[in-house]
Structure 1
Amino acid sequence: MTASTPPAPPFRDPRLPFPKRVDDLLSRLTLDEKTAFLHQFAPAVERLGVAAFRTGQEALHGVAWMGPATVFPQAVGLGATWNEDLVRRVGEAVSREARAMRARDERVGLNVWSPTVNLLRHPLWGRNEEGYSEDPKLTSAIATAYTRGLRGGHPTYWRTAPVLKHWLAHNNETDRDTSSASVRPRVLNEYDLRAFRETVEAGAVAGVMPAYNLVNGRPNHVSPYLGRHLRAWTRDDLLVCSDAGAPSNLVDSEHYFATHEEATAAALRAGVDSFTDHGTDSSKIVARVRGALERGLLTEDDVDAAVRRQLSVRFRLGEFDPGQDPHAVTTAEDVAAAFDTPEHRALAQEAAEQAVVLLKNDGVLPLAPDTRVAVVGLLADECKLDWYSGTLIHRSTPLEGLYERFGAERVSFAEGVDRVRLRTADGTFLHVLPSDGAPDRAAGAEGALDPALLAGRTDLPPLTTDATGTELALVDWGEGLLTLRAPDGRYLSVAEDGFVRASADQPGGWIVQETFRLEPHGDGHLLRHTGTGGHVRVAADGVKVAAPDASSDASPDASSAGDAPEVFELVVTERGEDAVARAAAQADVVVVVAGNDPHINGRETEDRTTLRLPAHQERLLRAARAANPATVLALTSAYPYAVDAQALPAVLWTAHGGQAAGTALARVLAGDVSPAGRLPQTWYADDADLPGLLDYDVIGSRQTYLYFEGTPLFPFGHGLSYASFAYADLSARAEAGTVSVSFTVTNTGDVTADEVAQLYVRAEAPSVPRPRRELLAHRRLTLAPGATADVSFDVPASALAFWDVAHDRWRLEPGPYALLVGASCEDVRLSATVTLDGEPAAPRPVRERGLEAVAFDEQSGTEIVDLTRTAGDAVTPVAGRTGELLYRGCDFGAGVTGVTVSVAGEGSVEIALDGGAAPVVLSPDAPAPGPYAYGELRAALAAEGVHDLRIRLRGSLRLAHVGFSG
């Protein structure tokens, strides 16, 4: 430093602790500069040498949306590995590639929005692929491993800064920005909060993202739980980033606030620090914050709190210490050393292999080396990506994997698509002009499609008509949704100009432009394009889609209607099941690869409606099985299915496994790898086993393996092996606040294989409904034939506590607890019982404290709603029903003579003691002026001692609290 060089400001001094440096930088920023930081795209502050910064980079199972990257199995597949070490290494690889990609493209962010820790409560959730498990313990274990990998191992500087999604109780896409999850206190604490809490407390999380939905009537973006729970779990400055567009939803779709200034102020004060809204245009958010400041809805201290948390993350990422950052990637050699490496490719294959779950095997697997294999099905030659995937650098389909493993001469292929021509009213057929450079997928050729063939292109010729037409591959993906594909592999798609072209390598995009519906019309069909809603018509300049308003009303018979949709005759030239049956009959074993396309019927914005396979795929499966009983079903899907497993000798499942999916599946089928994936969620046998999609009460409606009392198709934790394992020598004891369990696992088979040993607990004499069994710990072991492993777990006794609604806190109940050791939640090999000291149940002190309405033990016909816009819960009847609430063990002491209820709205409250006299009925004289205008109603009520209390609610009132006097 020379005499003319000013000293560096304290925020540039790496010797100072981060909090002091953050404070120094914050003090140098003007209010306008700080306000600008509140948008996702924070501008540079050139006068201080502070660079621009944006929150948000998708990295769910690889760096997404930023071009070529290593693509690992979907998150639910990583959950199926039950292997924290593996998942940590995947996180490390993803973060290294993010750093390398950032070095060559500044659009790549280091604040990564991953992982998703929403619990897979309901298997019809469209985003099932994004979560790890229905169990909070397994979810938190896998999420913690992934975040540790994303963070990196340096004690000071983070490689990337992971943000957990989506806070809170978010498990439906249907009406996701307006629906409310009614979450009772026990479910909130024992289930939904738990996955977030244990991951945050592990110390590798930079923040969370609130979900679009509401919880208990209040949008998650103004959730009081952000302060009450999230930020109480750690001393770190956690960054809360809004979901895209959600700040505007507070007014526009949810109508929760009257103005955007009020909504923005409420979200900021609740704890949201970065607003993801209006894309890269920050002007609207900045204007709303300024308006809120001018109206006194916010103070500069509120802005400072949010900016401080943002800056804390930026300092941890090494932004202000380029010379100290151990994760910096600065040269081309560094990029090459961190990106798409042989190690990452091997890790992608390892992860894909470990994610395969063998659900059933009657001895047909593994396949002998000389087996003639027919691989058939709509996914047999596919390597599907999802909305959060990167671009494939390498790919492997099941067909390619089996070719590689068994030789092309021993493997036959039939995709099973229906081959059709579409005849127009004048007798001509739809025709696709040929294109050079794309492989013939119908023939099963290897190699990826030309990446230049992307939906949205307008330089390719549109479809026309001619006398012979083009034979198209038609696939019905269920719900009447279909794709059409040219012989060279190009999918029919619609660009912005409305013309239909064969221009997409795969269905995809936020709004999929490659799906259609055939709608019966007279003796033919109309073809509706789902992306635009318009019908396909034939015009002089090519085949195009009519505008939706014209398409909806135009009559195909009206000769004057220029936008009249075409009536097509569907001419089937080959049924898919015929091709499958031919291939199956000539093979020793048939492998039917079935499942979903992650962009169709079950994805972000769209829930599934059934557990069943699409009818087209069920037809293919039946055809294969009829032609060859040695039929193996390999399900490749983002979620569970209900299939007829009894009729099949073998069934496997894997999530979409990324770039190595086909190789991994082939190696498992051949026995090169013994499968050891385990189901991370219950597979139900029938739709009738499922609760309502919006019923979040896992306790009351007996959801997930924790409470489900039916017989599942396959249970949580299930997965078979090519080896067998013996469990023995169980020892269990409880002392000094710890439950210690040890046992041995021996490989009694003749191949090296992995086993996943699982420890569950069940309260044997609970005073409230408790899980049938609950996962406490697990370990994935690799054992050679004859080898034995000693397994031990030390679990804090507090892990066996439950949320006591009578006293609003955790309580460990004294008594016996069964410890269950085995290979799944239903495959218990060893058990022991320990007796724990705990806190006995105590009656509710209602004479002193009254009753919070939400602290019920049981309910029917009610839902929980917001007490006020900022905090608290109330209970209201479901529209059109009478609500029932039960509060057990209410202690009225020496006696009470009166009751007071705090209510808003109109209706009536009936209060009765167990076995007592007629209920006391209270009803407002007049409806309150708004949902939050609470008043008190009083009546006489005589009670002493301990009683159960029942409350019946009618009308549209909200019950907040019940008090007693006398």
Structure 2
Amino acid sequence: VNIPVRVRVQDLIGRLTLQEKIRLLVNNAAAVPRLGIGGYEWWSEALHGVSDVGPGAKFGGAFPGATSFPQVITTAASFNQSLWEEIGRVVSDEARAMYNGGVAGLTYWSPNVNILRDPRWGRGQETPGEDPVVVGKYAASYVRGLQGNGPNRLKVAACCKHYTAYDLDNWNGVDRFHFNAKNLERSLDLDCGPFLAIFTEGAVKKGLLTENDINLALTNTVTVQMRLGMFDGNLGPYANLGPRDVCTPIHQHLALEAAHQGIVLLKNDGRSLPLSPTRHRTVAVIGPNSDVTETMIGNYAGKACAYTTPLQGISKYARTLHQAGCSGVACAGNQGFGAAEMAAREADATVLVMGLDQSIEAETRDRTGLLLPGHQQDLVTRVAQASKGPIVLVLMSGGPIDVSFAKNNPRIAAIIWAGYPGQAGGAAIADIIFGAVNPGGKLPMTWYPQDYVVKVPMTLMAMRASGDYPGRTYRFYKGPVVFPFGFGLSYTTFTHSLTQNPLAQLSVSPYKLNSAIFNSSSNSIKVSHANCEKFPKMPIHVEVSNTGEFDGPHTVFVFAEAPRNGIKGLGVNKQLIAFENVHVTAGAKRTVQVDVDACKHLAVVDEYALTNTVTVQMRLGMFDGNLGPYANLGPRDVCTPIHQHLALEAAHQGIVLLKNDGRSLPLSPTRHRTVAVIGPNSDVTETMIGNYAGKACAYTTPLQGISKYARTLHQAGCSGVACAGNQGFGAAEMAAREADATVLVMGLDQSIEAETRDRTGLLLPGYQQDLVTRVAQASKGPIVLVLMSGGPIDVSFAKNNPRVAAIIWAGYPGQAGGAAIADIIFGAVNPGGKLPMTWYPQDYVVKVPMTLMAMRASGDYPGRTYRFYKGPVVFPFGFGLSYTTFTHSLAQNPLAQLSVSPYKLNSVIFNSSSNSIKVSHANCETFPKMPIHVEVSNTGEFEGTHTVFVFAEAPRNGIKGLGVNKQLIAFEKVHVTAGAKRTVQVDVDACKHLGVVDEYGKRRIPMGEHKLHIGDLKHTILVKPQL
């Protein structure tokens, strides 16, 4: 054990025969008895909890389940990096406990770090959204939680997946296995399948491979095993972990909190949410996702500890009248619509829980549209019309749904996107609907309109807009959206101010000046050749003020918009460069600091972009025996109370309040005593944990969560998220009529969006939209629409429906998703999640073929993601409301001018036509850092978390192919008590943050005015060449 790992690895490999080596190249590695090496199954999954999707983990006996957190897309909506890491820590505790029990491995194909470039992708729910900064921050945080902080030993080994441009599964007959048959000639260390075991020996004999090639692959994999301590015996600090450490109350509470934080309130007309248990004593709970369990946990989920469906969650707050409305999210018929409408008429409020599930979006199942499946829209519309109280449309989905009909329907008071909120998703939805939790989630993806699917073929991978092609994601998309990336309402209001004057000018210089470094035509410097370490950091201090009445979380987004300097291939609208999530109490302020780095945040990629591959260094110590710090982990360390509490907290933080008209949320348990919990995701369990989930420790569905606050009237409205019929609509409407408030828990599940299952549209499946509309119309109390989904949903109908008071996106909020939703609905938690993706309108699927991967907008093609997409959105990336209000101010005067210079001046480095410098050849280390101090003031009545986003918008300097709208360069999440202030510092680095990518894939810093967008603030940094 005391011998260096590299020495032990080479010694072991040297003792193996060629045949023995070959048998170790596959996931089910064979034993080598003569050396005392046991067989090992490499393939395990833990995207948001230990999962039995892979062959490496099995549930049963002492380990019947594990904590099932919200699906990744939902947790990403919290924009809370500490939450992400804590979830990883809990998951790895439970994984080690199961390993000690002999039912799990130590190597996990997690996290999924793909960029959600297309809202139809069935596996978008597994990703942290469409922004690369968010994805990177999420991956780093989650991997830290999984692997631990030891310098050499690994708690478990995380393997990020997949290939960079992997964002199509099965769309309109095009599947991922045949879309692109070109393979890179790169080494493969491990094969998930028998191919290498069968053919490698023959390849060596034919001279196609050498035995040294095999040794190199084994060096990586054996090093992982050594660092995990698999050859050292189980003597480490995790040896004592066992069954009692799985599904603990703390773990399950964390699942609820994760759902709380990830659920996004998309609409809240007239502040309909939160509902009041005293005023909304009877809630019609309608919709195919209103009483689902497995839908809440999404795909790649395990066995949840316990479920709280939306119906169960709402039932804790109010008496419920439950009608599914549809039989499943497909919602193929309207037979149940009458009963749903009747429930909505009887209830004081109606909650329509609509959306998708894994039958609509999943692995091998991409969507072809963005609308709600089947008759769901009809169900929503009819229930909204029938409801005597407020209509709340809750959407469960991994991808966005075009719910423009609900967004624009005044009868729909609120829309909530719950994602797939995990095992406690129903509780989380109910908590948010009734104001126990103030929603703070923000959309991690753009919600496009349905016509996006026409304009953007899914097989066209271009990001930038061009001609009629609108581009992809908020960074490039140029077109309308249902909800933009980062959108998410709160029950409070937040304002931003700069507490200091940030740097407004930065002079940059490369360490050598020639045409390859400074390009005069694009007026930019190569970041790779810039003296980045010499550039001054640019701290941005944003003061977030909660000016509302609710405490709550708030995410400060900082987007950078680069100047249009002629850099070819740019096309970026803006780019998120930083984000911070803060909790600000009502009336308080919190200051968030975002450090803008010119090289990291102001740079853009030009047309000569290079793809860097990252080789994971195997550090798990799996051949060292189990002597590491995690050896004592066992069953008792899985599903612990702390872990489950983290799942709840993750849901709390990830849930995004998207609408809250008239401050309808939070509901009051005294005014909303009866809550109708309606919708196909209202009482789901596994839906909440999305895909790549294990077996959750325990579930709290939205219904169960809401039931803690009010008497519930539960109606599914639909039978499943497919919502193929409206048979349950009448009962759902009746429940909504009787209830004081109605929570509609709608959305998607793994039947709609999953691996191998991309969506073809962005609307709610089936009749979900109809269910929401009808329940909203029927409800006598405020309507809260909670959406469970991994991808965005076009809920424009609910956003625009005044009868839908509030919209919450819960993502897939994990095992405690229902509790988290309920906590937010009832104001126990102030929502602070922000959308990690743009919510596009349904027409996005028309404009953006899923096979067209271009990011930048071009012609009628609107582009992809908030960075490029040029078009309307349902909710933008980073959007998320709160029950309080936050304001931002610059605490200091930031740098307003920066002079930059390449180290050698020629036409390649400094391009005069694009007026930019190549970042690779800029003297980045000499550029002054530009600290931006943002004072975040909580000017409302609720304390809460707030994410400060710093976006950079580059000047339009003629860089070809730019197309970037803006780019998130930093984000910080802060908790600000009501009336308090917190200062957040963001250091802007010219090379990192002000650069843009031209059409050749080269990163350039455009000269000119770079605009930093910090909430409602704009700060301009003039970047000029110093030659």
| Fold shared, TM-score > 0.5 on shorter chain | yes
Q: Does 1:38 align with 2:25?
A: yes
Is 2:582 the counterpart of 1:671? Answer: no
Q: Out of 869, 877, 883, which is 1:716 matched to?
A: 877
Aligned residue in 1 for 2:199:
288
CA distance in 2, matches of 1:806, 1:355: 35
Conserved? CA contact 2:325–2:726, under 8 Å:
no
Q: Is the 8 A contact 1:477 1:601 kept in 2?
A: no
Aligned to 1:945: none
Q: Report the Cα distance in structure 2 between the residues aligned to 1:395 and 1:720, rounded to whole angstroms.
A: 26
Matches within 5 A, 1:932-947: none
- Alignment pair present for 1:348 and 2:255: yes
Change (3 A) 1:803 1:305: farther
Aligned to 1:747: 938
In structure 1, what is the equivalent of residue 16 of structure 2?
29
After superposition, give the CA deviation of every residue in 1:475-514 in whole Å (9 maximum; x if it has no partner).
x983699xxxxxxxxxxxxxxxxxxxxxxxxxxxxxxxxx
- The Cα shift of 1:116 comes to 0.6
Distance 1:159 1:133 in 2: 27
Whole-angstrom CA distance in 2 between matches of 1:681 and 1:116: 15
After superposition, the CA RMSD in angstroms is: 2.8
| Offset, 1:573 | 12
Q: Do residues 271 (structure 1) and 226 (structure 2) align?
A: no
Query: Given the alignment, which residue of 732, 744, 768 partners 2:894?
Result: 732
SS at match of 2:731: helix
Q: Is the 8 A contact 1:478 1:615 kept in 2?
A: yes
Whether 2:844 is the aligned partner of 1:682: answer: no
Larger Rg over CA atoms:
1
Structure 1 residue 806: Cα displacement: 8.2
CA drift of 1:169 comes to 0.1
Task: Say if 1:814 and 1:839, in contact at 8 Å, map to a contact too.
Answer: no
In structure 2, what is the Cα distance between the partners aligned to 1:812 and 1:838? Answer: 10
Residues 1:814 and 2:1007 aligned together: yes
Task: Determine if contact 1:813/1:839 at 8 Å carries over to the other structure.
Answer: no
Instruction: Identify which of 834, 856, 881 aligns with 2:1021.
Output: 834
Give 1:337 deviation, angstroms: 5.0
Letter in 2 for 1:381: D
- Among 287, 292, 309, which residue is 1:397 paired with? 309
Question: Does the CA contact (< 8 Å) of 1:157 and 1:326 recur in 2?
Answer: no
Deviation at 1:686, TM superposition (A): 2.7
Aligned residue identity for 2:373: G
Distance 2:950 2:192 in 1: 41
Instruction: Give 1:466-485 correspondences, 5 Å limit.
Output: 478=373
- Structure 1 distance, partners of 2:997, 2:51, is 42
Query: Are 1:61 and 1:71, in contact at CA under 8 Å, matched by a contact in 2?
Result: yes
Counterpart contact for 2:73–2:812, Cα < 8 Å? no
AA at the equivalent of 1:718:
F
- Superimposed CA distance per residue, residues 628-676 of structure 1 (whole angstroms, 9 cap, x where no aligned partner): 3632221122221112111122211111222212111111111111111
Amino acid at match of 2:21: K
Give the whole-Å Cα distance in 2 for the aligned partners of 1:729 and 1:478. Answer: 45
Deviation, structure 1 residue 803:
6.7
Q: What is the alpha-carbon distance in structure 2 between the residues aligned to residue 178 and residue 290 of structure 1? A: 34
Report if the CA contact (8 A) 1:478-1:616 is conserved.
Answer: yes
The letter of the residue matching 2:800 is Q
- CA–CA distance in 1 between the matches of 2:800 and 2:374? 26
Structure 1 stretches of at least 4 aligned residues deviating more than 4 Å after TM superposition: 175-179, 211-214, 801-809, 837-840
Match of 1:696 among 839, 853, 860: 853
User: Which residue is equivalent to 2:282?
Assistant: 373
Which amino acid counterpart does residue 396 of structure 1 have in structure 2? T
Cα deviation, residue 297, structure 1: 0.6
Matches within 5 A, 1:307-456: 307-322=218-233, 325-327=236-238, 329=239, 331=240, 334-361=241-268, 362-371=270-279, 372-374=281-283, 375-383=285-293, 384=295, 385-404=297-316, 406-407=317-318, 410-417=319-326
Q: Is the 8 A contact 1:737 1:798 kept in 2?
A: no
- Tell me if the contact between 1:765 and 1:816 (Cα under 8 Å) persists in the aligned partners: no
Q: Does 1:593 align with 2:503?
A: no
Higher strand share: 2
The letter for the 1-side match of 2:894 is: A
1:806–1:756 Cα change, 3 Å: closer
How many Å apart are 1:76 and its aligned residue? 0.3
1 or 2 for the larger relative contact order (CA 8 Å, sep ≥6)?
Answer: 2
In 2 relative to 1, CA 692–338 (structure 1 residues): closer, same or farther, beyond 3 Å? Answer: same
- By how many angstroms is 1:837 displaced? 5.0
Does the CA-based 8 Å contact 1:754-1:781 persist in structure 2?
yes
2:1021 alignment partner, SS class: strand
2:952 and 2:994 in contact (8 A); partners too: no
Out of 705, 709, 712, which is 2:866 matched to? 705
1:176–1:213 contact (8 Å) kept in structure 2:
no
Q: Distance in 2 between matches of 1:575 and 1:736?
A: 65
CA shift in 2, pair 1:163/1:212, >3 Å: farther
Contact 1:591 1:633 in 2 (8 A): yes
CA–CA distance in 2 between the matches of 1:354 and 1:790? Answer: 21
Contact kept, 8 Å, 2:286 with 2:322, in 1: the verdict is yes
* Kept in 1: contact 2:314–2:320 (CA 8 A): yes
Q: 1:25 to 1:597 in 2, by over 3 A?
A: same
Q: Verify the 8 A CA contact 1:151 1:161 in the aligned structure 2.
A: yes
- Tell me the alpha carbon deviations over residues 600-650 of structure 1, each in whole angstroms, 9 at most, x when there is no partner: 233221221111123421221222122236322211222211121111222
1:667 alignment partner AA: D
In 1, the alpha carbon distance for the partners of 2:736 and 2:191 equals: 55
Unaligned runs of 5+ in 1: 1-13, 180-210, 225-269, 420-454, 456-475, 482-571, 823-828, 841-966
Aligned-partner Cα distance in 2 for 1:132–1:710: 22
Q: Which runs of 5+ in 2 are unaligned?
A: 53-57, 60-64, 329-358, 360-370, 377-723, 899-925
Paired with 1:358 and 1:729, the residues of 2 have a C-alpha distance of 27
Match of 1:898 in 2: none
1:646 aligned partner:
800
CA distance in 2, matches of 1:796, 1:673: 35
Please, what TM-score do these two structures have when normalized by structure 2?
0.54
**1:816 touches 1:834 (CA, 8 Å); kept in 2?**
yes
Distance 1:401 1:338 in 2: 25
Q: Which amino acid aligns with 1:712?
A: V
1:118, 1:166 within 8 Å by CA — same for their partners in 2? yes
1:635 to 765, 787, 793: 787
Query: How far apart in 2 are the matches of 1:306 and 1:369?
Result: 60
**Deviations 1:105-147 (CA, angstroms, capped at 9, x unpaired):** 24x1211000111111111111121111100001110111001
CA distance in 1 between counterparts of 2:839 and 2:275 reads 26
Q: Residue 657 of structure 1 aligns to which amino acid in structure 2? A: P
- Cα distance between partner residues in 1 of 2:146 and 2:178: 27
Offset from partner CA, 1:332-368 (integer Å, 9 cap, x none) = xx31453222221221111111111111212111122
Q: Structure 1 residues 839 and 716 mapped into 2: Cα distance closer, same or farther (>3 Å)?
A: farther
Which amino acid counterpart does residue 119 of structure 1 have in structure 2?
A: I
Residue 549 of structure 2: aligned partner: none
CA distance in 1, matches of 2:725, 2:972: 53
Deviation, 1:295, is: 0.9
Change (3 A) 1:285 1:671: same
Question: Post-superposition shift, 1:788?
Answer: 0.3
Q: Tell me which amino acid in the other structure corresponds to 1:156.
A: N
Correspondence for 2:761? 610
Percent of paired sites with the same residue: 33
Contact kept, 8 Å, 1:613 with 1:641, in 2: the verdict is yes
Closer/same/farther in 2, CA of residues 142 and 783 from structure 1, 3 Å limit: same
Distance in 2, Cα, partners of 1:213 & 1:653 = 34
Change (3 A) 1:176 1:802: farther
Q: Distance in 2 between matches of 1:132 and 1:756?
A: 16
What secondary structure, in the 3-state scheme, does the structure 2 residue paired with 1:286 have?
helix
Counterpart CA distance in 1 for 2:114 and 2:259 is: 22
- Is 1:15 matched up with 2:2? yes
Conserved 8 A contact 1:813-1:838: no
- Corresponding letter in the other structure for 2:278: D
SS of 2:833's partner is: coil
Q: Write the distance in 1 (CA, Å) between the matches of 2:224 and 2:290.
A: 44
